[in-house]
């Protein structure tokens, strides 16, 4: 009997080896990692440069508490990230994962308003279809009803406005642009309702991952969001934990929306699975307000900016930049999208195929015409996951809540190094897993 307190109740295969886009279990079975776990393993599973960088740092110094020291890899990684970051983003706060990065972002926003003499600003606005992490602050920010339900009494009140979800929410007679303005204007209405002097920040994923299956906003949506935030002095926090670090075909996903946030979080692809790491990046203006005010951000964790994690993150970012992997994500993303559309574009139970770069979602519906989702009691997404595992494929299906109803989607986010033949293998295995599941 396993003593590991895992995620599920069923027995899981034991992963013993990783090589490129494949994981191998103790029985020698190969699994094509079609989702990089949960959009994590962007370089595949055996990158020699990242492994060497971790070993080299381990041989120098494994840990030096950030209350006393900075470290070479932390400095080098922060430099690299700031070089790639949207305009105005100037400081990097290194953490151990995505939830920690979101927690830090929320607390930083609050402290900023205290420093600039606006202590009334404490409210956060987020979107209904979102996931920002599982710690209590990040969970409160997220809009995923299922994940929040059990812990509701512990969560601080957060406003949730509509997501920008064209497939589900654009009206038939509405242009994408008009829909984007309508969706974004919900933020303005909510700020007005709460009282602008009480609102500190709006948080959103540029491309929604875990709760919706790779849903980008329509053109113009985030520009209007930026305008509204500026008008009311509300900070814009973008959560790029899943969609950042090249995943969508630009280093930061928001580049494609033509805007810069005040605070941005990244994680998964930053460590590429080699070490736990996340980062919260903020504007020089926020940093300086605190530096010139009370002096320091009142936050911190023991493993903040851990040198081994920073060494891994630095090697990952260097690999992405040095090997032109963001361009590759664009190319392979088009191939993946084309292959998915060829295979499932006319499928009776596929309502939508969407996403950007190597971040794609397939939405399953019972009825294509009416977009009616499957009965959530069928737990279709969980069944697709196990059928795919039997085929030797890892994908990341989930059931999200769409306008109060559940919908099933499959998130596909393979390593950036995926080859054309492996894209064919991924889609063929997924097709077989889908057919097995739908026949049940």
Q: Is 132 or 356 the residue whose CB approaches ligand PMP more closely?
A: 132
Instruction: State which of residues 205, 352, 363, 408 lies at the interface with ligand PMP (CB under 6 A).
Output: 205
Q: Residue 115 interacts with ligand PMP (CB under 6 A)? A: no
Report which of 294, 130, 263 is spatially closest to residue 208, judged by C-alpha positions: 130
What SS3 state is found at 283? Answer: strand
Residue 242 Cβ vs ligand PMP, minimum distance, rounded to whole Å: 4
Q: Is 97 or 415 the residue whose CB approaches ligand PMP more closely?
A: 97
Q: Is 40 or 326 the residue whose CB approaches ligand PMP more closely?
A: 40
Kindly state the number of chain residues that form the binding site for ligand PMP, as judged by CB under 6 A. 16
Which of the stretches 20-28, 98-106, 315-323, 393-401 binds ligand PMP when contact is defined by CB under 6 A?
98-106
Tokens 């995943």 map to which residue?
247
Q: Closest residue (Cβ) to ligand PMP?
A: 98
Report which of 352, 287, 239 is spatially closest to residue 109, judged by C-alpha positions: 287
Q: Residue 99 interacts with ligand PMP (CB under 6 A)? A: yes
Residue 208 Cβ vs ligand PMP, minimum distance, rounded to whole Å: 8
User: Residue 307 corresponds to which tokens in the numbers above?
Assistant: 């040198």
Q: Is 208 or 343 the residue whose CB approaches ligand PMP more closely?
A: 208
Which helix (H) or strand (E) segment is 94 a member of?
A: strand 89-95
Q: Is 242 or 438 the residue whose CB approaches ligand PMP more closely?
A: 242
Rounded to 5°, angle at Cα 254 from 280 and 409: 95
Look up residue 152 and give its DSSP letter.
Answer: G
Task: Please tell me the distance from the alpha carbon of residue 93 to that of residue 78, in angstroms, as a whole number.
Answer: 8
User: Residue 293 corresponds to which tokens in the numbers above?
Assistant: 């005010």
Q: Residue 144 interacts with ligand PMP (CB under 6 A)? A: no
Contacts with ligand PMP, 11-40, as mask; x by CB under 6 A: ---------------------------x--
Tokens 């999208």 map to which residue?
337
User: Residue 79 corresponds to which tokens in the numbers above?
Assistant: 């430099």
Report which of 269, 264, 210 is spatially closest to residue 237, judged by C-alpha positions: 264
Tokens 């994500």 map to which residue?
329
Instruction: State which of residues 123, 132, 226, 328 lies at the interface with ligand PMP (CB under 6 A).
Output: 132
Q: Residue 277 interacts with ligand PMP (CB under 6 A)? A: no
Q: Residue 209 interacts with ligand PMP (CB under 6 A)? A: yes
Residue 163 near residue 215, CB atoms below 8 Å: yes
Please report, as ranges, the residues that interact with ligand PMP according to CB under 6 A: 38, 97-99, 102, 131-133, 205, 209-210, 239, 241-242, 267, 278
């Amino acid at each position: 009997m396993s003593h590991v307190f895992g995620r599920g109740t069923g027995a899981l295969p034991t992963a013993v080896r990783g090589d490129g886009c494949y994981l191998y279990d103790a029985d020698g079975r190969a699994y094509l990692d079609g989702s990089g776990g949960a959009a994590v393993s962007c370089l595949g599973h055996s990158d020699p440069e990242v492994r060497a960088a971790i070993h080299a740092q381990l041989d120098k110094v494994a840990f030096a508490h950030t209350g006393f020291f900075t470290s070479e890899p932390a400095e080098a990684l922060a430099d690299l990230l700031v070089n790639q970051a949207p305009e105005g983003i100037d400081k990097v706060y290194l953490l151990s994962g995505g939830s920690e990065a979101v927690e830090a972002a929320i607390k930083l926003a609050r402290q900023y308003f205290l420093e600039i003499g606006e202590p009334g600003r404490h409210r956060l606005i987020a979107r209904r279809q979102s996931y920002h992490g599982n710690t209590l602050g990040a969970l409160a920010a997220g809009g995923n009803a299922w994940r929040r339900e059990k812990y509701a009494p512990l969560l601080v009140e957060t406003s949730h406005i509509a997501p920008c979800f064209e497939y589900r929410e654009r009206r038939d007679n509405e242009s994408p642009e008009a829909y984007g303005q309508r969706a974004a204007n919900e933020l303005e209405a909510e700020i007005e309702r709460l009282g602008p002097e009480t609102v500190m920040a709006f948080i959103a994923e540029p491309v929604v991952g875990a709760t919706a299956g790779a849903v980008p906003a329509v053109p113009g949506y985030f520009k209007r969001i930026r305008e509204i935030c500026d008008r009311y002095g509300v900070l814009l926090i973008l959560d790029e934990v899943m969609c950042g670090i090249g995943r969508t075909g630009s280093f930061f996903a928001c580049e494609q929306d033509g805007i810069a946030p005040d605070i941005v979080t990244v994680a998964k692809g930053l460590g590429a699975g080699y070490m736990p790491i996340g980062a919260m990046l903020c504007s020089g203006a926020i940093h300086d307000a605190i530096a010139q005010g009370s002096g320091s951000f009142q936050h911190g964790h023991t493993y903040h900016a851990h040198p081994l994690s920073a060494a891994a993150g630095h090697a990952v970012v260097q690999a992405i930049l040095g090997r032109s992997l963001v361009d590759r994500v664009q190319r392979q993303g088009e191939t993946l999208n084309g292959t998915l559309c060829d295979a499932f574009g006319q499928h009776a139970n596929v309502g939508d195929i969407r996403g950007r770069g190597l971040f794609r979602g397939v939405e399953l519906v019972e009825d294509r015409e009416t977009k009616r989702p499957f009965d959530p009691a069928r737990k279709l997404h969980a069944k697709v996951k196990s059928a795919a595992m039997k085929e030797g494929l890892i994908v990341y299906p989930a059931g999200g809540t769409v306008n109060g109803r559940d919908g099933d989607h499959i998130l596909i986010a393979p390593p950036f190094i995926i080859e054309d033949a492996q894209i064919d293998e991924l889609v063929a295995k997924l097709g077989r897993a889908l057919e097995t599941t739908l026949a049940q």
